[in-house]
Amino acid sequence: MAKIKVKLKCENIAPLESLDNEFENYSLKIGVFANNGCGKTFISRMFRLLERNTEVSDSTTTPNTDRLITLGKKSASFGFRVTDDAGIAVEDITINLTASSNPTIPTTRFLYHTFNQDYVDDNIRALDFEHTDDVQGFILGKTNIDLTDDNKKLVGITSARATLKDDITKKIESYISKYITPITNIRKLGDYGQFVSADIFLAHGDAKKQTLSKSFDEYVADYDKVKSVPENLADIDSINTFDFSQEQYNEIQTLLSTAYTLSSFGESFKEEMKSKQDFVEKGLSLVKTSEGRCPFCKQKLDSDALSLIDKYNDFITNEEAKIIRRIQGLMQLVETKRKEISGIKTKNLAAINRYNDYKTKYIPSCEGKSLAELDIVILDGTLVALKEALETKHKDISAVVSFPTDEKTFEVQVLAFNNSVTDNNSLITEINSRKNTIGEENKAIRRNICKAAYNHWIEKYGKDQLQYLELGKQEELLKSEIEKKKASQKVEKKKLVSETIKNVLDYFFSGKYTLDEKTFRLVFQSKTLEKNQTKNVLSEGEKNIVAFAYYLGDTHTVIEKEEDYKRLLFIIDDPISSMDFTYVYTLSGVIRDIKSLFPKMERVRHIVLTHNSDFIRILSSNNILDKVLLLKNSALHEWNDNFTVPYINHLLDIYKIARKGEKATHTTANSIRHIIETIDKFESINSNEDSVKIFIKNNIPNDKKSYTYINDLSHGGWRTEQPPMTDDDYKEVCETIVSLVEGRYPNQIKYCQDNS
């Protein structure tokens, strides 16, 4: 049988600060004995990290692997290597641990299943020694259907799809790195996660374009604009509306349409007065304070002059003069309103220039909008006509002057003008608001950049994406067909778990305890235990037996397909805690019979760790282990069988003297005595010194030297009258013992024959 090499390496794994050992063996049926505190449990914990679905972190802040690192150290490593006889590594794994970090668990060839206190605490004790009934899934068996062509086709599709994905991903990631990543804070946007990713692009089956008004490059240009907005950029001033009240309009209309009666003054006087009215009025105001003298030439005014002045005063106070003054005031008002609309137009033009500057340089979201130019031609024409009508009225207040524009038309003109102003003011308010909240503008553009990039990829790689998705459909369809074919021989895991647990329990309890297959509750003397009752019924030793039974049953939960059984490697750390010694023998038998519990394994692999010397002796002497090692001082040493199986070693020594020609030593007599006492104790149970003597007398002829030699020299005695024993004498006595054992237990001598 070819040998394998096994290497175990631990660096800063708790007490194992520097363990590096390699040894040869014929199998992976290995035992490790260690006293408490030597580190065997830490070895089992490292193996447990290699299991499927094992949580390596129990906290968001501190990984539970930190407890595996030697105190005071920041890192550690664990290595396990198995090499076949040709020097090819069939398993070669390394786990690196770093404080406060979760380790990366390597892919393994073996399928590890570990029993230790952590397993019991996590899976058994946490459930009060009950087993969860939530066992899901199936194990796929071998099928007689030839899947070679299907698998070959599947490999081809998978490979083509992977190649296409890799090509698209590289192009998109290059685009992202070059054009999108440099944009500040764009990764924080929800739209980034929704659109900017090769995986997202490939996953979208419909690949619908986003509705946008611009291209990617245009949005990037917009982004450059908004990020260049100067601080304290002034608002654009709003435009005043044109104010011409209804009362003013009605007054003009009434004045123009009313024929006023002429006074008693002559026409020439009236004309003269009209032309000098302002002068006359000013002079009259000065006469009041001139003490009867002309305010201009300072001559004393006679009675005729004073009479004329009185007439002037009467005229001024006449209603006609009031009308004339009012006409003049309205003429001035109309001229002022003409200047007002002209000023509004001028201010509007300035606002248009600033608006266009802002939207072009800084606020791209307003690019599609513009302020309207104000058309004052019609409204100004109406005002001009209105002024001319007033001038006509001013010349002849008795005339009825037709109004150039009716009330309704003029109102419409004013409303239209002001509506244009209001519309412009709305756009001005909007652009001012966008300027003052430029961050939102920036964010909106960055969102559109994400969407535009997605649209760009649809244009560039849309056909490739559709091909990728089609290959995915083909892949899933073919996988489904293969799984349907495989499913023809799949086995429910739950059934296998329950059967194995029941079989293992029967080893120990012979029907006293079993398992209810439906509820997964423990059955005690044919009665199913209630929830939370199990922990109160079982003794501590029985709890460990049940835990070990659950462990072996759970083996099926790590199996996905029948071939996985061939990869199993059991790691078993001290399963015998609190067990009676009878149960220790039974558990050893369970380990020996693992192959019968899992017949599809083909080759048994287990590493048993313990600090119980009797347990390791039983496993070793019954060939359950092929190799036993001693863990001490961070090193693995060859185990000395004399510590655990002295009987077989004594028998080997006697056999070699009797039939291999080796020389006797000073320990030969003790070896013979040990063999006799062991056989007598095995056959008589209550062995003592008298019973040993009786056994010797009854089974060894008195005419041989054996009795004296065994009964005397094995106790250190020496009689001077007794002659020394020769080599032939030793050989003769040893042959007597070997023959005795061979007659009763021939396989023991056969073992000596095979191992000497």
Question: Which string of DSSP letters, residue by residue, matches 451-511?
Answer: HHHHHHHHHHHHHHHHHHHHHHHHHHHHHHHHHHHHGGGEEEHHHHHHHHHHHHHHHHHTT
Other Cβ atoms closer than 10 A to 364: 23
How high is the pLDDT of residue 308? 64
The token duo for 333 is 């008002």
pLDDT at 307 exceeding the cut of 80? no
Q: What is the pTM of this model?
A: 0.47
**Quick one: pLDDT at residue 265?**
42
Buried b (16+ CB within 10 A) or exposed e, 106-125: eebebbbbbbbebbbeeebe
268 pLDDT tier (thresholds 50, 70, 90): very low
d(CA 714, CA 707): 11
Rg of the chain in Å (alpha carbons): 56
Tens of pLDDT, residue by residue over 40-99, are 999 999 999 998 766 665 555 567 889 999 999 999 999 999 999 888 999 999 999 999
The residue ranking higher by pLDDT, 634 or 707, is: 634
For residues 39 and 10, is the Cβ–Cβ distance under 8 A?
yes
For range 426-449, the mean pLDDT: 88
Q: What pLDDT is stored for residue 703 in this prediction?
A: 46
What confidence tens digit (pLDDT) does each residue in 527-539 have? 888 888 888 888 8
| 562-571 average pLDDT score | 93
**pLDDT higher than 60, residue 445:** yes
* Window from 260-264, 637-641, 665-669 with minimum mean pLDDT: 260-264
280 contacts 316 by C-beta, under 8 angstroms: yes
Cα 294 to Cα 296: distance, rounded to the nearest angstrom = 5
| Average pLDDT, integer, range 224-245 | 87
CA–CA dist 389, 381 (Å, integer) = 12
Over residues 634-648, the pLDDT tens digits come to 999 988 765 556 678
CB–CB of 113/558 below 8 Å?
yes
Helices (H) and strands (E) in the chain, counts: 25, 15
171-193: burial string, b at 16+ Cβ within 10 Å, e else: ebeebbeeebeebeebeebebbe
| DSSP 8-state code for residue 299 | P
* 315 pLDDT more than 70: no
At 718 the pLDDT is: 45
Of the listed ranges 38-47, 66-75, 251-260, 329-338, the least confidently predicted one is 251-260
Q: What is the pLDDT of residues 396-416, one digit of tens each?
A: 888 888 877 777 888 888 899
Return the percentage of the chain with pLDDT > 70, whole number: 84
Query: Residue 224 is which amino acid?
Result: D
Amino acid at residue number 396: D
In this prediction, residue 247 carries a pLDDT of 83
Would you state the pLDDT for residue 720?
A: 45
Q: What DSSP designation does 645 have?
A: -
Contacts of 394 (CB under 8 A, 6+ apart): 324, 327, 328, 331
Q: Which residue has the tokens 């007659």?
A: 743
3 close to 25: Cβ distance less than 8 angstroms: yes
Q: How far apart are CA 523 and CA 527, in angstroms?
A: 5
Give pairs for 125-132: CB < 8 Å, separation 24+: 125/547, 128/532, 128/534, 128/535, 129/522, 129/534, 129/535, 129/538, 129/543, 129/546, 129/547, 130/520, 130/521, 130/522, 130/531, 130/532, 130/534, 131/501, 131/515, 131/520, 131/550, 131/553, 132/520
The values of phi and psi at residue 581, to 5°, are: -65, -30
Strand partners, 93: 80
Closest listed residue to residue 426, CA positions, set 377, 372, 374 = 372
Residue 696 has pLDDT above 90, yes or no: no
Q: CA 79, CA 21: separation in Å to the nearest integer?
A: 11
Q: What is the arrangement of strands in the sheet containing 4-13, beginning at the earlier edge strand?
A: 16-25, 4-13, 75-83, 89-98
